[in-house]
Structure 1
C-alpha cells in the first residue's frame, strides 16, 4: 500500500513539475487520481487505521495554475461514503463539483468513482481540499496551490522557496466513533488529543521523535509559508520563535502586507506569510495552539515543528516562540483589523456599494428534547432559530430537476424573535425549529449578511464559510449590531475579501457579495461540532437571463443517492 502511494506521488509530482515548467500561456489540463483507502498510522504511541487519500496523511497537494482545467478522479475503497470539497474554489455555474454531501452531490459510495472536473478561473494563491461528509476531514485533507498565470509575478518579493503548513488535529481513537458517541449522548464529542503540523504533533508529545516536521532555511533568504487551518474545531495561533511573519494573502486573495509576531487562523482559512531567515543560525520552533475566549473547553496543547538553518546539527535545542495567551481577545480583534485587501489596479476590491438584499442571521446554541440522550436533551445549533436538517437528496439536484419536497425556500431573513443577543447568558429553550430551509437569492443581486453571535447557552467565536463565493468583510464589532450606527463605520474601500470569516465571541460580522454564481451554495460554521448540530443553511441563487448565467448540466458520472 505504501509503495503504491509512493509511486503515485512520484508520478503526480513529475506530471505537475512538467506542467509548472511549461512556458506556454495556454491553460493546461492537470489530472490526479485520489484513491480513498484505509492506512495504518501511528501518533502519540497509538496506532490506528485512518481514512486517507493515496495512503498519505495529510493528502497530496494539488498544484495548478490560474486558468488550468483540473480533473480529479476519486475512487472510494473504504466502507464510508465519501465526497471532497475544493474549499475556496468558486466553481462558477458548476456546483456539481463543489463537493458537500447532500448539498451539491450525493456521496461517492463504496466501490464507486466520480471525477471532479473544474476550471480554475480568476483565482490564484493557497486554498485546500477536504472530505465534506461526517468527520472524515480529520484525516482526509490537503493543500491546493494555484500559481499565477505564466509571466505574472507575485505582488510581493519573490521567495527563495515555498512550504505548505497544514495545521490539524489528532484523536487517538476512531474519530467517527467519537462523533457518534457524542451524538448519542447529546453532548459535545471528546476533544482532540493533539494538534499537528503537517500531520505531526512535534517533540512536546510522546513517541514523536519521527513525527516532527522540519523545514531547512538558508541565512539571508526569504520563504513563503502557505498556512492552512485544517483543524475540525479549533481556531489556532501560529508563530515562529525569533522570526516575524509578513502576511501577504488570505484565502487566496492578496492583502496589504503587514508584519506580525503571530497569526490567528480559523478552521477553513488559509494565510500566506513571508519569513526572512535573518536570525542567528540555529533551530527555532514553529508552534500552534488554540484560541478560545469563551468558557468552553478546547484542546489547549501546543504542536510544534522546527525551522532549522542549514548546517546546524540536530543536537541544538530549538527555542519556543511566545504565542498569545489562549484567551487573548485583544490580539484576535487587533490582528483581524489589520487584514485589508491589496486593492491595486491589477487586484481591485470590487465591494458592492449598493445593497439589494439585507440579511441578519443570529447564531445560537440550544437544547432540544432527546429522551434517549444522557440528560434527556440534545445540543443543537441554529441560524435564526432554525437548525438545518440534511436532506436525503442533494439540494442542487432537487433545484435543477425541480424535485418537490426536498427543501423549502422560506428561511427567515431575520430572527423571528428579537432579544438582547449578547446580554446575560440565556438558557431558556427558544423552541429551536428544525427543517431543510434555504434562502432564494436573485441572480446578480447584491447581498449584505450580518452574522450576530448570541449568548444562547454561551457566546463563542464562529468561523463561517460560504461555498461558491468570496465575500468582503465590511464590518465587525463586539456586542449587538446597531443598524442605525454601525454601517457608518463600514470599510467600503479595501475590506478583506475571503471565503471564511470568524464572527467574534459575543459580536457580529457584516459581509457583502454579489450573487453572480447560480446554483445551490452551502453556508455553515466551520467548527465541525457545530455543523453537525445544525449550524448551517444554503443559498439558492437563481439563474440569470444570459446564456452563460445558468447552472451547467450535471456530469454523466454524478453519484446517485
Structure 2
C-alpha cells in the first residue's frame, strides 16, 4: 500500500465520529523514553514515546492491523486485552502461548477483526513486567448509526490508572526471583501517567486535569493498567453512573466508588452538576489481606469546571480504607448484564465440563534463594505451577510439535483440604506445562476457589479468547450441592477478568466457540510470574469456519 494511502486511512480512522473505516492501520514503535516522575528520571519502554501509550480507536466489525516494531533491548509482545480474537489466536499476544515474542530489531503485524464487541478495552505488553509502562486504551465504538443503550454523553475521556516504580521494573522482579521473596511494591499510583501532587516533589506538578462545563455529561472510560493492585476510583462531590464493564453493557446504577482490578475496564457517566470549582479525582488501593504489602499512595487528578480560576481551592474526597471489603462487595454485587432484546445475556444453561480450580500460593525449595531461607514463593492453579515453554503453545498445537505441553491439566485439585482454613502441612506445588482440552462449542463452568495457603488474596483472573458470565460468588469453601442453587443464570455480569474474593470463590460459565490455545491467569503480575496460570486448548470444529486460521507469514520465531 502506498504511503500516502496508509496515512490517509490512519488520519481518517482517528476521526471515529465522522468516518466509518473497514480497516484501521496503526504503527507501534516500541522505544525507550526518558520520563520524570516523583522527582526522578528513568528510561522506560513506551509505544511511540508515550506513557500511557496511544489510544486505538475502532468500530465494531472493523479489521485492525497494528505493526509493532521492536526498537528496545527486550523481547516484546502485545496483548489486545478482551478482544475475542475469533479464529485469530496468532494475534492475541501472550508470549510463548500464542506467539514467540518479537525480538529486538524485528516487527510483527497483529491482524484481527472485532466481532460483536463494542466498548472499552486495553492493550498491554504480555511478557516480563513491561506492562508497567507499555499499555494504553482500546476504544471500540458501536457501528455507525447504532446508539448507546443509555443517553449519549456530551463528551468522553479515557482515564488510565496505573503504577509507577522509581526502579526499573525488570530489576525489581529479577531481584525478587533471585531472593525467593515478594517483589517491592510500586512507589506511586498514577492517573493517565501522573501521580498528582506529591509532597517534597514540586516537579511532579498537578497531574491530569479533566475540564468540564456545567450541566454537561461525560463518559469516563476507566482502565486499570496497574501491575499488581486493585483500585478504588471516586470523584469528590459527584455520583458515577456505571454503564459498562469489560466492553459489555450493564444495567446502569449509581455509586460514589468504583472498584476496578488490573485488566478490568469500567465506563461511568458523570454529570457536571456541582458548583463551579475544582474537584479531586482519586485512585487508591484495595487489598483486604493485612499481611501483604501494598503501595498506599493515592493518585489524584482534578475535575476542573470552566470559568474556575486555577488558583481556586480543590474540593477533596476521602478514599476508602485499603481493606474496605464492604465497599468493594457493594460495587461487585451491583453489576448485572443489561440482558435486553438487543444485548441478551446468553448464559449457558447446561454444562458439559464442570471444573473446580483452586488458586493460591505455595512454597517450593530453592537452594540458591538465600533471602528466602532456601525456599521461594510460588503460585498455582490446582497445585500446578505453570512452566513457560520455549516454543509457543499455539504453534506447537497447530504444527503438531511434540514435547512442548501435555493435555493432562487436572479438572480438580489433587487433594481436598479446608481451602480457606488451616493450610496443609505440605505447601509445595508440582510444576508442568499443562493445558486442559475442550471440544469446540462445549459449555464450561469453572469454579475458582481462593486458598488460604500463606494468605488469602483476591485474584483477578483473566481468560483470553472469551467473555464469560460470573454466575455465582461467595465466601468460604464452595459447596457443590447448595451453592449452585443460588446461581444467577438470568442476568449475571459478563466479563473477561473477574476477582476471586479473598477467602472465597467465584463461578464462571462460557461457551468454547473459539478454536485455539487460550491463556487463563491471575492479572496480578507477581502471581503470573510465580506460576498462577494455565491454558485451555479448544479443538477445531467442523470445516474452515470453525477452525483456527493458518499462521501468518511474519509470525515471530523463537
Q: TM-score range by the shorter chain?
A: over 0.9
1:454 equivalent among 445, 451, 456: 451
- Equivalents in 2 of 1:469, 1:390: separation in Å? 22
> TM-score, normalised on structure 1?
0.96
Look up the SS of the partner of 1:258 in the other structure. strand
Q: Does 1:498 align with 2:495?
A: yes
> 1:433 matched to which residue of 2?
430
Look up the SS of the partner of 1:548 in the other structure. helix
Taking a change above 3 Å as real, the CA distance of residues 559 and 86 of structure 1, as seen in their structure-2 partners, is same
Taking a change above 3 Å as real, the CA distance of residues 463 and 269 of structure 1, as seen in their structure-2 partners, is same
- Equivalents in 2 of 1:79, 1:89: separation in Å? 28
Deviation at 1:209, TM superposition (A): 4.5
Deviation at 1:540, TM superposition (A): 0.2
2:179 equivalent among 185, 190, 193: 185
Taking a change above 3 Å as real, the CA distance of residues 166 and 45 of structure 1, as seen in their structure-2 partners, is same
> 2:351 matched to which residue of 1?
355
The alignment covers a number of residue pairs equal to 548
Deviation at 1:12, TM superposition (A): 8.9
Look up the SS of the partner of 2:166 in the other structure. coil
Q: Does 1:117 align with 2:111?
A: yes
Q: Does 1:261 align with 2:256?
A: yes
Look up the SS of the partner of 2:314 in the other structure. coil
Look up the SS of the partner of 1:271 in the other structure. strand
- Equivalents in 2 of 1:293, 1:12: separation in Å? 48
Deviations 1:414-434 (A, max 9, x none): 00100011013x273343100
Look up the SS of the partner of 1:178 in the other structure. helix
1:274 equivalent among 269, 281, 285: 269
> 1:215 matched to which residue of 2?
210
Look up the SS of the partner of 2:545 in the other structure. coil
Q: Counterparts in 2 of 1:502-517, with a 5 A limit?
A: 502-517=499-514
Q: Contact 1:427 / 1:457 at 8 angstroms: preserved in 2?
A: no
Deviations 1:95-114 (A, max 9, x none): 00000000000000000000
Q: Contact 2:87 / 2:514 at 8 angstroms: preserved in 1?
A: yes
Q: Counterparts in 2 of 1:185-264, with a 5 A limit?
A: 185-205=179-199, 206-210=201-205, 212-264=207-259
Deviations 1:113-137 (A, max 9, x none): 0000111110000000000000000
> 2:45 matched to which residue of 1?
51
> 1:4 matched to which residue of 2?
none
Give the gaps of 5 or more residues in structure 1: 1-9
> 1:132 matched to which residue of 2?
126
Q: Contact 1:204 / 1:303 at 8 angstroms: preserved in 2?
A: no
- Equivalents in 1 of 2:228, 2:424: separation in Å? 23
Deviation at 1:20, TM superposition (A): 4.0
Q: Does 1:318 align with 2:337?
A: no
Deviation at 1:336, TM superposition (A): 0.4
- Equivalents in 1 of 2:87, 2:400: separation in Å? 17
- Equivalents in 1 of 2:17, 2:53: separation in Å? 20
> TM-score, normalised on structure 2?
0.97
Deviations 1:176-219 (A, max 9, x none): 01110011000111100000000000013523553600010000
- Equivalents in 2 of 1:207, 1:348: separation in Å? 51
**Root-mean-square deviation over aligned CA pairs:** 1.3
- Equivalents in 1 of 2:203, 2:510: separation in Å? 45
> 2:486 matched to which residue of 1?
489
Taking a change above 3 Å as real, the CA distance of residues 115 and 511 of structure 1, as seen in their structure-2 partners, is same
> 1:288 matched to which residue of 2?
283
Q: Contact 1:224 / 1:275 at 8 angstroms: preserved in 2?
A: yes
Give the gaps of 5 or more residues in structure 2: 1-6
> 1:300 matched to which residue of 2?
296
- Equivalents in 2 of 1:395, 1:86: separation in Å? 18
- Equivalents in 1 of 2:314, 2:125: separation in Å? 35
Q: Contact 2:417 / 2:424 at 8 angstroms: preserved in 1?
A: no
- Equivalents in 2 of 1:249, 1:334: separation in Å? 16
1:372 equivalent among 358, 368, 372: 368
